Amino acid sequence: MVVGIVKIRIYAPWVQSLKEKRMIVKSICSRAKNKFNISIAEVEDQDLHKSIVLAFACITTDKAHGDQIIDRIINFIEGNTEGEIILIERDCQVY
């Protein structure tokens, strides 16, 4: 079993309120869940309206496949937000 875990920090300078940020986070999370069948959530900076920190996890049987899935999800998130991705922390472990 291979578990892929990723944390993405996104800077969103146009966001003016926490309500607007929550709408963006909810949209990204629900679309990624539906498209890739992953677990995804906002994990940090919930009270900062210009910073979005998302983490997601996926499970597969092969490390190469896990890396491929992670790359596809990161590209999906990049393509579905106007924010600048500042940091990506990723790990794909075999258990």
The structural domains of the chain, with segments of one domain joined by +, span: 2-94
Class for domain 2-94, per CATH? alpha beta
E strands of the chain, at which residues?
Answer: 2-11, 39-44, 51-60, 84-94
pLDDT of residue 92: 86
Whether 31 has a pLDDT exceeding 90, the answer reads yes
Could you tell me the pTM of the whole model?
A: 0.87
Pairing of strands 51-60, 39-44: antiparallel
Tens digits of residue pLDDT in 54-82? 999 999 998 998 899 999 999 999 998 88
